[in-house]
Structure formats: C-alpha cells, structure tokens
Structure 1
Amino acid sequence: MIQSEELLQKLSLESTIKEEEIPEIDLYMDQVIQLFDSKFAKTLRNDEEKVLTKTMINNYAKGKLFIPIKNKKYSKQHIMLISMIYQLKGTLSINDIKATLDPINKRLESENFELEQFYSTLVHLQKKNAENISKQIRILEKEIELEEAQEELKQISFIASLASMSNAFRKAAEIMVDGLLENNKEDKKK
C-alpha cells in the first residue's frame, strides 16, 4: 500500500503560482503555458496530461471565464484568473467555474478591484488546505492500518475513503455555486 508520506509527496499540494511569481509585464500565450508548466507539471498524473494548452486558454476566453485580453497578451490579472480556473477545473464544470468567477470579472471591468489581494488570500488558503489535507490523509492511513485485512483491501479502503471525501467536497462546492447563482438572480431583480 502507498504510504501517506509518499502519497503526499506525489500530490504536490502546495503547487501554486504566487502573486509575486507572476511577471509584471504582459505575457504571450506560450509564455503563460511555460509558467504553468513550470509550477504544475509535477502534479500531473502522467506524461500524456497537459497542465495548460492553447486550446484550453482559447476555450476559457471564448467562454468568458476571464476578462478580455489585449493585443494577444495576458496581464498579471489574467494569469491569476487562469490559475483560479486551473484550481477549479478538476472539481467544477466550466459553467460552474464561469458562475464562480463572473462576479470577479465584473468587478475587474467596472470598479477598482484589488485582485492581487484577493488572489494572495486564495494562495494562503490553499497552503492551509494543504496542511489540513496532509493531516487528514495521515489520520486516515492510521485508521486503515488498524483494519485486519490484506494490504490490497486496505488500499481499496483508502481509495474509497479518499473518493468519498472528494465527492463530499465537490458537492459542497456545487451547492455553494448554486447559492452564488441564486444570489446573482436576486440582485438582477432589484
């Protein structure tokens, strides 16, 4: 059975792009992809997976998941928004991501919104989440080790437990997206 420390190392839970790591100058798409590859490549399941592709970025732009780009260059704000999309896409549908990021995009277009401060808060929360997840995985491993079962069955128990937690968190996120959509509908009625 994979031990929790080995699993946690492979998860690379703290992989992220910090605000201060994003260049102040605007980047072309290839440079954006290189930045994401340098930060997230070790989080991929296999060599066939891609962190980010031109098609993905174009689809995010067409789907209006982030503010419009200018002169085929991506600003620091775009990088932050693409990073948020990257973090959300493993759990939420594109429509749910759009609903989640829509209030941020509207604020960016209509008011003086400090995306950098908001993004730094998200990165800080991600670090705290990584710590909590690490603790929870270690606790789960200890509980499973107490089972009187073959190693393969213990591993299956571990997998099922992780999937159960993942499903609960995904469902909680979807419920919150639905609440955000409902609030937006109420605001439009006013």
Structure 2
Amino acid sequence: MKPMEELAESLHLNSHLSLQDIPDINLYMDQVIQLFERQFAETKRNDDEKVLTKTMINNYAKGKLFFPIENKKYTKDHLILISMIYQMKGALSISDVKTTLGRLNEKVTDDAAFDLQAFYDCYLQMVENSAEKFKADLNSQSDELIESIQKLDDQDEDYLEQLLLIALFTNMSNYYRRAAEKMVDDISTNQNSF
C-alpha cells in the first residue's frame, strides 16, 4: 500500500485558483476553460476527464449560479465564483450550490462595499489549513488502521488495509457532505423567511 505521504502528494491538495492566477483582464469562455484546465489538470482522475466545459459554464449561467456576464466576458469575480462552484459540485447538488451562492451573488452585484476577492482569499487560506489537517489525519488514520489489521493475522493484509481506508474515507466524506447539506438547508430556510 502507498504510504500516506505519497497518497497525499498524489492528490495535489494545493491545486486551486489563486487570485494571482486570475488575470486582471476579462476573459472569454475559451480562456476561462484553458485557465481551469491548466490550474486543475493534476487533480483529474484520468486524462479524459474535463475540469470545465462550455456546457458546464452555460449550465451554471442558465441556472443562475453566478451573476450575468457582459459582452461574453468573465470578470475576476466570475472566475472566483466558478472556482467555488467547481469545488462545491464535487459534494453538493447543483441546486445546493445555487442556494449556497445565491446571497453571495447578490452581495457582489448589490453591495459595492463587499470585497469578494478578500472573501475568496480567506476561503483559500482555510483550504490550505484544511489540507494540512487532512494530511495529518491521513497518517493518524493509517497508523491506527494498520495496527488493527495486523491483529487479524490475514495473508491479504495490504488489500484489507486499502479496503478499510476506502470505507473510512467514504464514510468521513459522507459526514462532511451531510453536514454541508444541513447548512445548505439552513441557508434555504433563512432565505425563505425574509
């Protein structure tokens, strides 16, 4: 089995779209797709997987997941929102992503004092902190699991370690997804009470 440090490295946890990666000029759709493909290429499971497509962006726009573009160009704020959509859609439904980002879109378009870039920078800092915690947790879980598996005294130890880690990781992923869904429901309930 791969050592946990090697697994963590292969996940490219630090792959994200930083503010420095986003040009100060507005971009056409093809340029947006190229930027995302370049930034997230290492996170793809295989070469055939697409990070972002025209269809995806058009669906996000039609679904009002981000505020309307002007002159077929995407601003830095659009790219920030698309980046957040990209991250969230791995765990949440598009409907949940829309609910989550709805008020943020309103703040961007209606509140001149709101600084989306500062908010996104805060988000990216939290992402980096979470990646470090995740790496430490990987090692801790693996050590605990190896100790438990060795007690079974089975010839297929490597497979059983992988199976248990996969089951554990999917279980933890479900905990986080369910927690996020509960919070989306809270946002939805609060929006409906206005």
The TM-score with structure 1 as length reference comes to: 0.96
Question: Does 2:186 correspond to 1:185?
Answer: no
Q: What CA distance in whole angstroms lies between the structure 1 residues aligned with 2:190 and 2:85?
A: 21
Superposition map of 1:103-182 within 5 A: 103-112=103-112, 113-146=114-147, 147-148=149-150, 149=154, 150-182=157-189
Question: Where does the alignment leave 5 or more consecutive residues of structure 1 unmatched?
Answer: none
Aligned-residue sequence identity (percent) comes to 49
For residue 120 of structure 1, what is the amino acid of its counterpart?
A: D
- Contact 1:100/1:177, CA 8 A, preserved across alignment: yes
Superposition map of 1:20-59 within 5 A: 20-59=20-59
Counterpart for residue 74 of structure 1: 74
Deviates more, 1:138-147 or 1:98-107: 138-147
Q: What CA distance in whole angstroms lies between the structure 1 residues aligned with 2:187 and 2:178?
A: 14
Q: What CA distance in whole angstroms lies between the structure 1 residues aligned with 2:145 and 2:158?
A: 10
Q: What CA distance in whole angstroms lies between the structure 2 residues aligned with 1:25 and 1:59?
A: 23
- Contact 1:12/1:43, CA 8 A, preserved across alignment: yes
After TM superposition, the runs of 4+ consecutive aligned structure 1 residues lying more than 6 A away are none
Q: What SS class does the counterpart of residue 142 from structure 1 fall into?
A: helix
Counterpart for residue 96 of structure 1: 96
Q: What CA distance in whole angstroms lies between the structure 2 residues aligned with 1:22 and 1:156?
A: 40
Q: What SS class does the counterpart of residue 50 from structure 2 fall into?
A: coil
- Contact 1:2/1:155, CA 8 A, preserved across alignment: no
Taking only aligned residues, the RMSD between alpha carbons, in angstroms, comes to: 0.9
* Matched residues, number: 187
For residue 127 of structure 2, what is the amino acid of its counterpart?
A: Q
For residue 70 of structure 1, what is the amino acid of its counterpart?
A: E
The TM-score with structure 2 as length reference comes to: 0.94
For residue 169 of structure 1, what is the amino acid of its counterpart?
A: Y
Q: What CA distance in whole angstroms lies between the structure 2 residues aligned with 1:11 and 1:107?
A: 33
Deviations 1:153-178 (A, max 9, x none): 11100110101100000000000000
Question: Where does the alignment leave 5 or more consecutive residues of structure 2 unmatched?
Answer: none
Following superposition, the deviation at residue 20 of structure 1 comes to 2.1
Following superposition, the deviation at residue 2 of structure 1 comes to 2.3
Q: What CA distance in whole angstroms lies between the structure 1 residues aligned with 2:52 and 2:42?
A: 13
For residue 69 of structure 1, what is the amino acid of its counterpart?
A: I
Following superposition, the deviation at residue 38 of structure 1 comes to 1.1
